[in-house]
Structure 1
């Protein structure tokens, strides 16, 4: 899957974020961008959407999640401390 890449530290998860949504949810795979589309309730002000995204995915995956790229962009790269197979299974994809 294009939006996952296994590394020695865990799995890179490539995400496209839509802030100011009605609820936190995974919308699906954005084939055009090759990223997982995630909606978060928080606005993109003062890093609130980033914090909400990390918190949401950490809880959903039951693992440590860290933002590694894309702090001011909608396209973000996150490091998840799980194998790619575990991430895929927990996301039901």
Structure 2
């Protein structure tokens, strides 16, 4: 199990580290920070990177929101209505 994923009664939380303004997009688990690294092409200004992150995670998982770190590169995302096994399967697959 990835250490960045935690279960909650209304869904699953994922701790992420955002890399904005990137030439590539995607995600990969970083064992050093114990967070999921998320690369987005949008800049960190005016919430553009946050919107890109939510769009990416919503497309994969459905209903999600940033619950902490809205102005930081270290964030926690809540994915509602899913189980931890489903999230792990998708992220590790």
TM-score (norm 2): 0.91
Segments of 5+ residues of structure 2 without an aligned counterpart are none
The 5 Å alignment of 1:18-29 reads 18-26=19-27, 28-29=28-29
TM-score (norm 1): 0.91
Q: Root-mean-square deviation (CA), in Å? A: 1.1
Residues of 2 paired with 1:49 and 1:24: CA distance? 11
Query: Which structure's residues are more often helix, by fraction?
Result: 2
Segments of 5+ residues of structure 1 without an aligned counterpart are none
The 5 Å alignment of 1:1-93 reads 1-26=2-27, 28-61=28-61, 63-81=62-80, 82-93=82-93
In the alignment of these two chains, the number of paired residues is 91
